[in-house]
């Protein structure tokens, strides 16, 4: 089975959905539900809304992943899926302002190299 454009695009979509879902979960975890009493119900609704968005993104990821496996081999798709780790780091840096140190960048470089080696073999 050859890798098709549909398979590759749905893997990329699945990667983005999972990464964005993780960002939603992090944002939900950061909601301060120990605020003064009048704000609590609004903050709880916000937290549950963010969790629901995260779950929705993971459901979308599962659907896209299933579609991608119809169009490409799992031995090719799975290593590409590991690129989700890299996308999460970039989104955390851009959207959450998290610091990414040299050691983590070195790990990202190793993930990219490993993914490239597995995908082309």
Pinpoint the alpha helices (H) of the chain.
5-29, 37-71, 74-81, 84-96, 102-120
pTM of the model: 0.82
Asked whether residue 119 carries a pLDDT value surpassing 80, the answer given is no
Task: Report how far residue 74's alpha carbon sits from residue 55's, in angstroms, rounded to the nearest whole number.
Answer: 24
Q: What is the largest CA-CA distance in the chain?
A: 59
- pLDDT of 23: 95
Q: Render pLDDT for 82-98 as a digit per residue (tens, 0 to 9).
A: 889 889 999 999 999 99
pLDDT in tens, 50-88: 999 999 999 999 999 999 999 998 888 888 888 898 899
């Amino acid at each position: 089975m050859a890798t098709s454009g549909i398979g590759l695009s749905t893997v990329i979509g699945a990667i983005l959905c999972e990464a964005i879902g993780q960002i939603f979960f992090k944002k939900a975890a950061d909601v301060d539900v120990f605020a003064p009493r009048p704000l609590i119900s609004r903050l709880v609704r916000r937290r549950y809304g963010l969790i629901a968005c995260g779950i929705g993104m993971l459901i979308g990821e599962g659907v896209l992943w299933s579609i991608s496996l119809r169009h490409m081999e799992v031995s090719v798709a799975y290593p590409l899926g590991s690129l989700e780790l890299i996308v999460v780091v970039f989104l955390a840096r851009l959207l959450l302002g998290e610091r990414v140190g040299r050691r983590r960048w070195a790990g990202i470089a190793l993930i990219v190299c490993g993914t490239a080696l597995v995908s082309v073999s």
